[in-house]
Every structure is written in structure tokens, then in C-alpha cells.
Amino acid sequence: MVTILGGGIAGTVLAGALAGNQVPVTVYERQPEPGNGAFMVLDGHAHESLAQLGVPLEALHERSHTVPGFRFHFLPEERRATRSQGHRLYQRADLMAVLTEFASAANAPIHYDKDIIDLDPSTGALHASTGAIPSDGLVIAADGIDSIARRRLEPERPAEYAGQVVIYGTIPHAVQLDTEPDVMHFHGQLGEGPMPTSTFGHMWNDKAVFWFTRLTREPLPQQDIGSHPAAHWADAIRAADPMISGLIDTILAATDAVHVSNARNVPFDNARAVQLPIVLCGDADHAITPAAARGAREAIEDALALYRAITADESPFDAMTERRIRITEERTQQTRVISRATA
């Protein structure tokens, strides 16, 4: 029996894949329904992993937007354009709808509005607000950046502020802009390091506009996180790149509300070794700022690694230990590539 904490991207797709291969699995999710949230971009590697888990690519394509390329306007002209590697943009709700349909078709039981408030690290026994929940076998904690499992197993490894506030906005109808359609555009201001100190990104097509801002500043207090009128953050958003104030004003004028949050990381250089019966997965183990553009992909690849280990009767311990090594190598390589591009 496999018990999964968290019905987000990793937990839902893993549950569907396991149930589809006759592995008994149960998911407990604290939210009352499949999660909403900001948009995200998944690359070709993430789509390959989803396909190997059994998710129909046709369904994913129907609920997403093709991203044929990227343009980094803060770089020299010869280095601005980058071709897509199978990237597609998703509203999180649309991606979760596809994954939830996949899990439902496999008869994977997902219990929403079930808040797990504690667990026993030695046995994996779970405790919800309504009482004890029996669990017999492997527990996979895919319960996000504020994971109750990580807090119980490794209280010395909390999520840390990554130095930037992130603002997301979506315009659910077409707005004609003076930038190239479909391409994901990045404007901003470079500092001393390889990453911009502020970023304004956007993509538009004949259906919608998706945009975000990342601002280097002190973290927001908890009460300021969440949805706000776009006008409340207008001055800060314009400051992300004053050279494109006209573009930003056009987008803000068509945006009703924005979602604001603190970007956070969960470092795992000091993580304890994986110890059964509880395995951390995705953001619960190694969340990374949205600026890295790889958090969702890493969670999906975790799910694939665990799926392969469980269905082959191999060790989830070995699978996640290898994943940590792989993630470290890939992140180091990505940092080198970015540093060369901005040098």
C-alpha cells in the first residue's frame, strides 16, 4: 500500500500511474478541490516524463499553449533569442484538471479536504484533524513547500526566502501588444550576478495574456500574500523595467487582479539521508524559486522515479537518493549556462 500526502502535480500524477498499474494507493490533500494557482511553463523533458507515467499528451496539448521560443530583451541582441525545447504554458488549474482526470480514470482514490497535521516518522502513521488514519507501507510526502512531513522529519530544514517577490497576472482575453505573439518575453534589469534583479515577463496570443514580475526586495509579511487589485502593485511593477513602461501600462490596464507571493527555496545540501517508510517528493524536498523555471519539472521527474522503483519492486530510497544527486548536477549546469549567457 502506498499513501501519498498531497494531491498537487506530483501526488496526483503518481497516484494515477500507480493505480493504473494495480498498485494500491491513497492520496490525502488538504485543499477542498484540485489546486488553482499561477501559470507555469513545462519543457519537453517534463512532457516526456508525463507521457511515461501514462498521461495522454493529446489532453495536455488541448489544455495548454505552445511556446515556440523565448526572447531575453536585457541581453545583447545576438544572445536574446532562444528556441523552445518542447515548452508549453499551462494555467495550473488546467494542468491539474488533466492530471485529476487521469487519476480518476485509473480509480485512484484522492481524499480532498483532508488535512494531515502530524505523522510518526518511524511508522508512517498519520494523524488528521479528525483523528488517526491508518497507513501500512510506504508514505510519499508530496505535500508542497510547507510540507508537514519535512517539518516533522527535518525541523532544521525550513523553506527559506529566495530574495524576490513574485507577482502573477492573467488577462483572459486577447490584447494586442507591440511584441511578437506566442514568444515568452523577458525584460528586466541585470545586477552584479547572472540573474536579473528585476524581471517583467509576458506572453500573448489570440486567447489571453500571461505575465509576471519578479522583484528583488525584502519579503512580504504573511498577511500581504495572495490576491490584490493590480493597481495596488502598479508602481512596483513599472519599476521592474522603466524602459517598457508603455507595454506594462497596457497590460496593467487590462488586468483586474494579481497574485503576490514570496519566492522560496527548500535547500537540500544539508538534508538527512532518505529513510523509509517516509519519502519526500517534489517541493516538499527541494522546492526552488520560480526564477529557476524547473520546480514543476523536478516534481514530475520525482514522481516518475518513484513510479519506476515501486512498480519494479525496487527501492524508493535508492530512487530518491539518485534524484537528489541528479537535481544537484542539473542545477549546477543550469547556473553555468546562465552565467555564460549573461557574461
Average pLDDT score over residue span 225-240: 96
What are 158-187's pLDDT values in tens digits? 999 999 999 999 999 999 999 999 999 999
Query: In this model, does residue 78 exceed pLDDT 90?
Result: no
Query: Quick check: helix, strand or coil at residue 261?
Result: strand
Mean residue pLDDT of the chain comes to 93
Question: Structure pTM?
Answer: 0.95
**What's the pLDDT tens digit per position in 317-328?**
999 999 999 999
* Per-residue pLDDT at 292: 83
Above 60 in pLDDT, residue 342?
no
CA distance 178 to 218: 33
The predicted structure's pLDDT at residue 338 = 64
**Among 13-17, 128-132, 206-210, whose mean pLDDT is lowest?**
128-132
**Cβ contact 310:23 at 8 Å:** yes
Query: How far apart are alpha carbons 158 and 266 in whole angstroms?
Result: 7
DSSP 243: G
- CATH architecture of the domain covering 2-68+88-159+266-342: 3-Layer(bba) Sandwich (3.50)
* Backbone region of residue 68 per phi and psi (left: phi > 0; alpha: psi in -120 to 50; beta: other values): alpha
Half-sphere exposure of 40 (CA within 13 A, CB side): 21
**Looking at the predicted structure, is the pLDDT value of residue 103 above 80?**
yes
Judge contact between 14 and 4, C-beta under 8 A: yes
Asked if 244 and 187 count as a contact pair (C-beta separation under 8 A), the reply is: yes
Contact yes or no for 246/185 (Cβ under 8 A): no
Q: pLDDT-based confidence at 144, cuts 50/70/90?
A: very high
The pLDDT, as a whole number, for residue 341 is 58
Quick check: 86 pLDDT over 80? yes
Residue whose C-alpha cell is 518575453: 185
With a cut of 70, say whether residue 343 has pLDDT above it: no
Report whether pLDDT(252) > 90: yes
User: Average pLDDT for residues 125-151, to the nearest whole number?
Assistant: 91
- Residue 230: per-residue pLDDT: 97
Percent of the chain at pLDDT > 70 equals 97
The predicted pLDDT at position 340 comes to 59
Q: Is the pLDDT of residue 81 over 60?
A: yes
Assign 339 a pLDDT band (cuts: 50, 70, 90): low
